[in-house]
Structure 1
Amino acid sequence: MNAVEIEEAVSALARQPFDADEFPYAFLQAFGRKDVELKRLRKNNTSDVVGGVLRRDSIHIAVAAPGEVGATLAALRDSPKSAANRVKFLIATDGDEVQAEETATGEFRSFPLPELDRHFGFFLPLAGISAVRQIKDNPIDVKAVGRLNKLYLELLRENPDWAKEEKRPELNRLMARLVFCFFAEDTGIFIGDTLFTASIRQFSEDRAGLTNTDQVLAQLFLAMSTPTKENGNPTSRFRQAAGVKAYADVFPYVNGGLFEDAGAVPRFSRAARNYLLHAGELDWKEINPDIFGSMIQAVAEDDERASLGMHYTSVPNILKVLNPLFLDELNEKLGEAGDSVRKLRALRRRLSRIRVFDPACGSGNFLVIAYRQMREIEHEIVKRTGDDPKSVIPLTNFYGIEIKGFAAEIARLALLIAEFQADSRLISQQAARSMVLPLHKSGKIVEGNALRLDWLEVCPPAAPVTEERDLGGPTGQLALEESRLSDRDEVETYICGNPPYIWSNDQTAAQKEEIEISFSSRTKGWKQLNYVSGWFIKAAEYNSAHGAHSAFVSINTICQGQHVELLWPSLLRLGVHIEFAHTSFKWSNLSTNNAGVTVVIVGLSGNTKIRARPVLYSECENKAVERREAENISPYLVPGPDLIVRKASRPLAAVANMARGNMPYDGGNLLLSPEQVTAEIPTDRMSLVRRIFGSEEFIYGAVRYCLWIRDDVVDWAMETPSIAKRIGLTREARLRSSDVGAQALALTPHRFREMNAGNRLTIVIPAVSSENRPYLTAGLIGASDVLTNRNYGIFDGELWNLALLSSKMHLVWIATVCGRLEMRYSYTNTLGWNTFPVPPLTTQDKADLTRCAEDILLAREAHFPATIADLYDPEAMPDDLRRAHERNDETLERIYIGRRFRNDTERLEHLFALYTKMTASDAGPGKKSLSKSPRKRKEKAA
């Protein structure tokens, strides 16, 4: 269930007669519990509280005797089963009153049962949805989205021609107008309580399924788009000429783009009219434009409607971008200004010159939050100076590009609402009402494709057009030169946002073309770039040419692995540098199971600097954010130079060679389960069978086998019908493949693409492993075992190589230099192992590391048959195994610097410094680092 569906179900429950026996189950059903689950719960209810129902990991709820709600909640709190079952909520009710407590935070709620729907947001975690404070305290946004969605769907049903592409923009404009009208009547922008809703109710007829609501709305919109003044004086001639009816003439002139013309209105059925009136009954003055705008996007998008009410990006996450981009510096200047009127006025003038540009603005979240925060700073200035409180921060300084027309419309409206709310709160409601109509121009939001538009045309590098006003107001005149805003060199532009992340395989032909236009002349590997790269290159071009600053949220892989090599040389050549960055964290929306992508935030400077030293932010284990200044932040988002680690075909250091495991390309025909081996392979042909290890088999202990047939025994193998059949099926599978390489392998259907295996042993490391484990899970397999392409192997390598692979030093290198799948480590030999900087090892160093590797293996063996997954569970790692790893880390780190490193940051700094030294002859500033074999490097040096 989505948030809107839950709100509707909870509202229905609050209106029903109270049934003490059924209420706990009905409550759970409202939050998405299925009938079969509730049936099971009725049979196996383990609550130890009278009238209670207990659902593990969820809720302990009880119906109390009249007047005993508080005592019943205390009993739920004291129940041993509440703690043992890790319940999230305790709820007690007697049918009149509800008391509830969130166990993790201790937050408490008490309210009458009929008001349950006003508190549904508090309980959203029961549905696997992370609630945010605004929705917990005020569910108006979700309620409004739900009611508008019903209206929208009914209008489409009644007017199928409006579902066509050419008519959808008009329908979306209608919805934006309705939102404004509901907001205007509840905030006093329209004179007269519920003027808009009351007019619909009074003047639209309701006859046997048909209404004239469309005609009434058309009249109201006509009035709002028709002026009532001429040269500043009241006049009725414009409205008389337009034919505005008397009942509509009471509405003010609005315009401002939203009502630029009356426009057509679709037919309204009786149901549509009822949905419209139902929406008008809400208290719209409480909506949050930063929440509501993003959630309402789903109303107009057929493919987004399943997540209705869940499109919300938290304010704290947005501020992770905006604060270091420019708000922190403004607040610092505010603090430095103290009570100096001159400095405070200078800062206020600066605020009037700041432009915020989001080239993927959606419904305007970033712009709205930036505007609100800037208004807060301005308000503090006004308090200290006593100057005219009317804001000098114009909405026309807020720019955006949005590809979806409805979202662009909502973004403009959200800025208008944010401005009115700020005026009401920071100046006065009366002043806000007097200033709001007719609507002035809102944010400059352009509908279009950001990667095809010229950003300089959308947000030209010139001074914002603002009214030259006396900032001092009644307290004194400012000199003209102090308040003039026309000097283009004084304008500041900040580009921000959360552009779309789309990998190459998921891009449309048009999106691939856009990446090609931006990058084909810059990098040969442009086809592999994530779609978000287009925003980075356009921002870097803008920054470099015009001194702007930018910060984007991006999927974290643009600062990892091969993507660094593909994207960052192009950015660095434009002269930008990383001004601040936030390392990987979850960018979670309001959604089921709090699903979110792992992202980074990267702030790029132009040809000017805000701060002397770049700042790196990192999220600690306790969710606190660590702030650290650095001389420079590299594209890998670690302190260090702007070097780029490039894939290498041979190891940079004097370590063993590593190769990927063997690719079957067999359609599953060369692989066998233990049961298939027993059933199909004769005893005298068992030498053709080997145990095979993919990452699943190596980490979780699964058992699988394969046919391992060398060229010199293929004729002998074919004498066995079951083996011959599998070889024939492999040939057919390869011939059917669209992969030319796989088709060529049909000539040798008895063998894997590679036939790599050790004669003595193989050191194994999985291609993908969990970031939750404290170490990379390298290990050994025997001479008769085989690896798939899901692992990498060092075949017959010396055991000290295993010590390197199992170290924290190697883990932090892989976590930084290799790409990731979400947060999981994605290992490659060419980028991870071959580039790993290792100092020269003496014979004694190798002997010490060999002993460390043996200790790790022996510690694992002591816990047989525990799997790698069992042994490296961070909550259950055996002490002896942990100690063996710590000895290994200490031994290796003393080889590097003679002591233990203090933390991972120090480890990385040392590794990058060593990498720079080892590749010094090949890498220049902003260039790709080249890795050669040790022998070739010595030859070059000689």
Structure 2
Amino acid sequence: MKTAGKNIDINLQAMGKMSEICDVLERSGYQGRDLETYLVRLLFCFFADDTGIFCKGQLYDYILHTNHSDGVLTDTIMKLFAVLDRRKDDREGFSEELAEFPYINGRMFAGELPVHPLADSVRNLLLSSQEIAWGRLSPAIFGAMFQEIMNQKTRREWGTYYTSEENIRKLIRPLFLDNLWAEFHSIKHSRHKLLAFHEKLTELRFLDPACGCGNFLIVTYQELRRLELEVIRNLYDMNQRVLDVGMYCRVQVSQFYGIEYEPFQAHIAKVCMWLADHQLNMEAADAFGMYYARIPLVQSASIVEGNALSMDWNEVVVAGQLNYIIGNPPFVGARLMNEGQKQDIRNVFRGSSAAGNMDYVTAWYRKAASYMAETQIRAAFVSTNSICQGEQAAMLWKSLKFNYHTGIDFAYRSFVWNNEARGQAKVHCVIIGFSDWSVRDADSEKKSLFDGDEEWKVSHINGYLIAAPDVYVQPRRSPVSEWVPAMTFGSMANDGGNLILQPEEADFLMMKYPQLKEEGAIRPFIGSEEYINRKQRYCLWLLGIRPEVYENIPEIQRRIQAVKSFREYSPRAATRKLAKFPEIFGEIRQPEQGKYILVPRVSSWRRSYIPMGFLPAETIASDAAQMVPQATEELFGILTSAMHMAWVRAVAGRLKSDYRYSSSIVYNNFPFPDLDRESADDIHEKAARVLAIREQYAEVPLAWLYDDTSMPSALKNAHRELDLAVDRSYGYEFDTEKERVIFLMDLYSKL
């Protein structure tokens, strides 16, 4: 079984136990916030009983001696919660056994819960909890897992969603941690410098403005405390017993701040920070050889409940006192946001026409950039890779640069954000570190660009996460290269499906009414899905067809009438106007003669090339694809080359992780080469070779033919020859995609 950190099995066992307890408490009458609070308190008690906050086994013994009758257990637990919230000198009326429990504070046990009788089965569950090593929980992932048990739909699938600690370290290491360790190693033999460095660690402040259950804050705190422990090892003789460990462990949870919209998650974040603090104190105790605990709880992370996009972050922590912003803001696409989220975007991007096309996560970038302007704060977020692709990349990074002098300090190019748990949701993400470059000489600093296992030191990273100057690829209505023909969408039926035919329907009509085939009234109808997978679909294409050909065919008349009704009842005025012409497509762009190149609008990211090719004018292209009429083999060769695909991967939008090819962003902005006769002939010859080999596999789906694992070697070789021919047309030969993209970005900026 894969693990996230060392103790995923312990976390899963603990979550299973908490799920069982949750079920019983729900049946007893606990709901909502009361249920959440009850479970969090029990979790803390289990943890305390296993880690020395309580005397070892104190909780177990207390419950073991409880009377078995219903109702008594409820009173027993409520008394425990009450005593944990009282100072030692304020426990009159409590039994001697209860009075021995420590005072916890931190408002962990403040406030009374409703009293519902608990069945004796709860007692057995509480007693069996001692079998779990609660002290080995990983607070960084347990918080997110704990939240799931509150959802009955996911309770039996606990362990589905959480962020692995290793992924969090991907963000914090280049942001600050690597530099801190490097600084430590450079000065660790100087006591004077080491003391100053220790002081520096105690002054660092961190904010996660979408902290959820606090996992980013927790891992950051863990790493900072472990660095501090190394500092202490080098400052002091660890062989001597130290009277007050706390005097040396000075990094505190109070250096951490968070903002969270959901109250329960905010509460969990605070609790898990306390759990992490105690675990780290135990690590320190092992190093010093004596027990150390921060009980009663006095200091805590400042986790504020609220909407981070509508509040002033200075009210959480003043910008001048903060060092780093970290986190993993919500992933919600621009077209999937609810009304409240759309309003958040409009407020944050007030005055910008870009608001309607931005993903939700971009609001955190804009808000952070505004907050940290003219400060030394550095920030890093995990985001969907969409913010570095398509028109969104230009809108976001141009805005941040010119409004707030924001530059990118480091970045991880797209990778799978793997949760390492069963049922995991694999999302393609980027990590971007950024800051206000106007407050320091940032241009002279080397930037780190990560791609897979590689790290490159580069002079600049632009908004597409390319080691190239800043360019902003924005939508164009026509190609930037003048010799290139326009690309358009295919034709849109706008018919409620009534003009579209499945193969068996088309065959039936053409067999029963031969004139439909003779007159070309039924045509192949091809979109991205049909083209890539060689599926058949047809349509009624009655444009230019004499009415007497079909006016006496009841099957067609029923379809035409259905189109008319569909359009008449549309909420769109433009569609209602089309009801006057129900026999034809709503939007017609099909060329009347010749051939055209069909380009799928969406294609798998796993393919080195987008499958595209020539179709005759008699085959109708749907609006699920794009087409280039009057196209040549030379144009086909360039579009299906490594050069063009490098541009696609750099600037195209994404549908999940698949390429979303658009004419306005990808095609119209692509810097096509100025072909001389020799280059044109070379590309024409190599493109014809690719098409000829494909023709040998005419019955094989292009999805298989262009899958990198199944592509025939002859086709691979033909494409390599075509790639070289296209490279030569630019006057260069490239070894890597990175070189191609940098070259194209530079060429585009000149165009």
Same-fold call, TM > 0.5? Answer: yes
Q: Residues 253 and 301 of structure 2 are in contact (CA less than 8 Å); yes or no, is this contact kept in structure 1?
A: yes
1:379 maps to 229
- Answer whether contact 1:364 1:412 (CA < 8 A) is retained: yes
- Could you tell me which residue of structure 1 aligns to residue 16 of structure 2? 146
1:484-516 deviation line (CA, Å, top 9, x unaligned)? xxxxxxxx5211111111123332222221111
**2:398: which partner in 1?**
569
1:354-365 to 2 correspondence within 5 Å?
A: 354-365=204-215
* 1:773 and 2:607 matched: yes
Distance 1:402 1:267 in 2: 33
Query: Aligned residue pairs: how many?
Result: 734
Residue 558 to residue 277, structure 1, CA distance change in 2 (3 Å):
same
Structure 1 residue 216 corresponds to structure 2 residue 68: no
Larger mean Cα displacement after TM superposition, 282-291 or 579-588: 282-291
State which of 426, 435, 441 in structure 2 corresponds to 1:605: 435
The AA in structure 1 aligned to 2:10 is: I
Unaligned runs of 5+ in 1: 1-121, 123-129, 229-235, 464-491, 919-942
- The CA deviation at 1:902 is 1.7
Aligned counterpart for 2:532 among listed residues 699, 703, 709 = 699
Paired AA for residue 581 in structure 1: A
- TM-aligned CA distance change 1:261 to 1:245, over 3 Å: farther
Structure number with higher relative contact order (C-alpha < 8 Å, ≥ 6 residues apart): 2
Amino acid at match of 1:201: L
**2-structure distance, mates of 1:211, 1:430:** 45
Amino acid at match of 1:293: G
Q: CA deviation at 1:763?
A: 0.9
Which position in structure 2 is the counterpart of 1:817? 651
CA distance change for structure 1 residues 429 and 798 in 2, over 3 Å: closer, same or farther? closer
1:200 to 44, 63, 80: 63
Deviations 1:405-437 (A, max 9, x none): 222222112212212211222333887744321
> Taking structure 1 as reference, are residues 867 and 454 closer, same or farther at Cα in structure 2, changes over 3 Å only?
same
Q: Which amino acid aligns with 2:71?
A: T
Contact 2:48 2:54 in 1 (8 A): yes
* Correspondent of 2:101 among 216, 238, 251: 251
Q: TM-score, normalised by structure 2?
A: 0.93
- How far is the alpha carbon of 1:457 from its aligned partner? 0.8
Find the aligned partners of 1:513 and 1:728 in 2 and give their Cα distance: 41
Q: Secondary structure at the match of 1:552?
A: strand
- Measured in 1, the distance between the counterparts of 2:342 and 2:421 equals 29
- 1:509 match: 339
- Distance in 1 (CA, whole Å) between partners of 2:515 and 2:113 is 85
Residue equivalent to 1:60: none
1:499 aligns with 2:335: no
Match for residue 683 of structure 1 among 475, 492, 514: 514
In the other structure, the counterpart of 1:468 is none
Residues of 1 paired with 2:468 and 2:182: CA distance? 27
182, 191, 194: which one aligns with 1:341: 191
- Report the TM-score when normalising by structure 1: 0.75
Deviates more, 1:149-158 or 1:178-187: 149-158
Match of 2:722 in 1: 888
CA contact (8 A) 2:5 2:164 kept: no
Choose which of 627, 630, 638 in structure 2 pairs with 1:796. Answer: 630
Alignment of 1:416-815 (within 5 A): 416-428=274-286, 433-461=291-319, 463=321, 492-521=322-351, 523-572=352-401, 573-607=403-437, 608=439, 612-620=444-452, 625-653=453-481, 654-681=483-510, 682-686=513-517, 687-711=520-544, 713-714=546-547, 716-758=549-591, 759-815=593-649
SS of the residue 1:554 aligns to: strand
Q: Give per-residue Cα distances to partners, 1:203-258, cap 9 Å, x unaligned.
A: 3x322xx2222222222222222112xxxxxxx4x222xx3333311111111231
Give the distance between the partners of 1:370 and 1:827, measured in 2 at CA: 39
**Aligned partners of 2:323 and 2:546: how far apart in 1?**
71
Amino acid at match of 2:21: L
1:876 partnered with 2:728:
no
Distance 1:430 1:346 in 2: 22
Give the match for residue 231 of structure 1: none
Deviation at 1:195, TM superposition (A): 0.7
Q: Tell me, in whole angstroms, the C-alpha distance in 2 between the residues paired with 1:395 and 1:610.
A: 32
1:395 is displaced (CA, Å) by 0.7
Code of the aligned partner of 2:76: V
3-state DSSP of counterpart to 1:629? strand
3-state SS of 1:539 partner: helix
- 8 Å CA contact 1:494–1:548 kept in 2: the answer is yes
The answer as to whether partners of 2:159 and 2:422 remain within 8 angstroms in 1 is no
Q: What letter corresponds to residue 855 of structure 1 in structure 2?
A: R
Matched, 1:916 2:749: yes
* CA deviation string 1:530-584 (max 9, x = no partner): 1112211111112214321111111110111021233223322211111111111
Change (3 A) 1:714 1:836: farther
- Identity value in percent: 32
Give the match for residue 51 of structure 1. none
CA distance in 2, matches of 1:354, 1:694: 55
**Deviation readout 1:612-632 (Å, 9 max, x if unpaired):** 435343344xxxx21112222
Structure-1 separation of matches of 2:650 and 2:308:
30
Alignment-derived partner of residue 270 in structure 1: 120
Output the amino acid matched with 1:215: D
Whole-angstrom distance in 2 between the partners of 1:326 and 1:610: 18
Q: Which amino acid aligns with 1:239?
A: R
- Find the counterpart in structure 1 of residue 261 from structure 2: 403
User: Would the aligned equivalents of 2:53 and 2:293 in 1 still touch at CA under 8 Å?
Assistant: no
Answer whether contact 1:256 1:442 (CA < 8 A) is retained.
yes
CA-to-aligned-CA distance 1:283-335 (integer Å, 9 cap, x gap): 21221211222211112244543532323211111111111111011111112
C-alpha contact 1:576 1:604 (8 A) present in aligned 2? yes
Q: Report the alpha carbon displacement of residue 462 of structure 1 after superposing the two structures with TM.
A: 5.2
Structure 1 residues 279-288 or 368-377, which shifts more? 279-288
Q: Take 2:427 and 2:644, find their aligned partners in 1: how far apart are those partners?
A: 25
* CA distance, structure 1, for counterparts of residue 64 and residue 262 of structure 2: 33
Shift of 1:402: 1.6
Q: Displacement of 1:593 after TM fit?
A: 4.7
Q: Deviations over 1:57-95 (max 9, x none)?
A: xxxxxxxxxxxxxxxxxxxxxxxxxxxxxxxxxxxxxxx
CA contact (8 A) 1:222 1:244 kept: no
| Secondary structure in structure 2 of the residue aligned to 1:139 | helix
- Do 2:172 and 2:220's aligned partners in 1 also have CA atoms closer than 8 Å? yes
Q: Provide the residue aligned with 2:6 in structure 1.
A: 134
**AA paired with 1:661?**
G
Corresponding letter in the other structure for 2:60: T
Q: Kindly state the Cα deviation for residue 860 of structure 1 after the two structures are TM-superposed.
A: 0.8
Deviates more, 1:282-291 or 1:357-366: 282-291
Partner residue, 1:226: 86
- Aligned-pair distance for 1:895? 1.6
SS of equivalent to 1:316: helix
Q: Does 1:412 align with 2:412?
A: no
1:102 is matched with none
Secondary structure in 2 matching 1:664: coil
- Are 1:239 and 2:91 an aligned pair? yes
Cα distance in 2 for partners of 1:838, 1:678 equals: 43
Residue type of the alignment partner of 1:376: R
Determine if contact 2:679/2:728 at 8 Å carries over to the other structure: no
Contact in 1 for aligned 2:646/2:740 (Cα 8 Å): yes
Name 1:17's counterpart in structure 2. none
